[in-house]
Structure 1
């Protein structure tokens, strides 16, 4: 029976159909069951939905000029906060050739503890409660030249997490600057 040409032809046909259809069926099943998690390369959290200074009732002080690397000053700026402000400046210096395209800014509310900051050369941008609802105290944020809040970096608790976060922030910012044509 195995020498029958019709039977042999059917087996070859079924084998070819299975060979080409099976990968598509498996892929469809994996995607529809959400078993696959796509890889992301950014270290921060993308700010969704799209939010900008304008949407939050604020004026972008660097409109069409520069990217902003901002840090939201908390109500009590302790030693950890001061270290994050220091890392803000160090991240800006580490940008190298991209340094001219980015402005480090301190984002301050009415309740922010600016007395603990002392004298520094960073620009200060006043923010409102709508902004604080998107980016909270102790968080870093990247803002593009059009005033859109792109990425935020949540508060960390330990020194090692802070160093890791700073490296990730720097990698993300370099990638954005490399791909961007504005600012």
Structure 2
């Protein structure tokens, strides 16, 4: 009776087919999991199929540069709006410092997730230094190494405002013509997507 139900050689014939089918399923599962990661890495490294449209207003810094690469050795464990001035802090620099503070205030309940800072190569004039102490008590100040800044930022002596993540990575860069609303929207978007800082 048992022989009638399972003719000789029948189970042996099904085994190689089942093995091939199982291997094929395993291969498809691995391709489904690993394939997108390989594709995404290739897109990032080789810059192909990168969308032309963007939802941010500054210049995206996607090369892994950190604060130290632009001559600012300090570390902060929050998001930071950093104004850099490779010379003195003139009108454009002062406007960016004011904007950085306004953006932090504009974050509302997320204001504690960000800080604002100034990195300059030359000492501040006494009037502006007094104004900063009086009106910008939370502003952090750093020294800036001009040769490192010019090399790392690939910039001339124009002041810039940078958004820096809590790990010290440069994320976005803005020149003095940036609109406050655009900058605020960019930072809000980053904070919404981020679970750090």
Check whether TM > 0.5: yes
More helix by share: 2
Which digits, 9 at most, give the CA deviation of each residue in 1:129-179, with x for residues without a partner? Answer: 3234344532100111101111100233xxxxx4x2x21111111111111
Q: Do the aligned partners of 1:73 and 1:113 also contact (CA within 8 Å) in 2?
A: no
Alignment partner, residue 143 of structure 2? 126
Alignment of 1:67-86 (within 5 A): 67-86=79-98
1:140 correspondence with 2:161: yes
TM-score using structure 2 length = 0.61
Count of residue correspondences: 139
Q: Distance in 1 between matches of 2:67 and 2:93?
A: 24
Question: Does 2:52 correspond to 1:38?
Answer: yes
In the TM superposition, 1:1-183 aligns within 5 A as 38-55=52-69, 59-62=73-76, 65-109=77-121, 111=122, 113=124, 115=126, 117-119=128-130, 120=132, 121=137, 122-128=139-145, 129-135=147-153, 136=155, 137-156=158-177, 162=178, 164=179, 166-183=180-197
Structure number with larger C-alpha Rg? 2
Cα deviation digits, residues 8-56 of structure 1 (max 9, x gap) = xxxxxxxxxxxxxxxxxxxxxxxxxx9x963100000011422013555
- When the two chains are superposed, the root-mean-square deviation of aligned CA atoms in Å is 2.6
**TM-score (structure 1 length as normaliser):** 0.65
Structure 2 stretches of 5 or more lacking a match?
A: 1-47
The verdict on how the C-alpha distance between 1:72 and 1:55 changes in structure 2, with shifts beyond 3 A counting, is closer
CA distance in 2, matches of 1:55, 1:80: 23
> Which runs of 4 or more aligned residues in structure 1 lie more than 4 Å from their structure 2 counterparts after TM superposition?
54-58
Q: Secondary structure at the match of 2:52?
A: coil
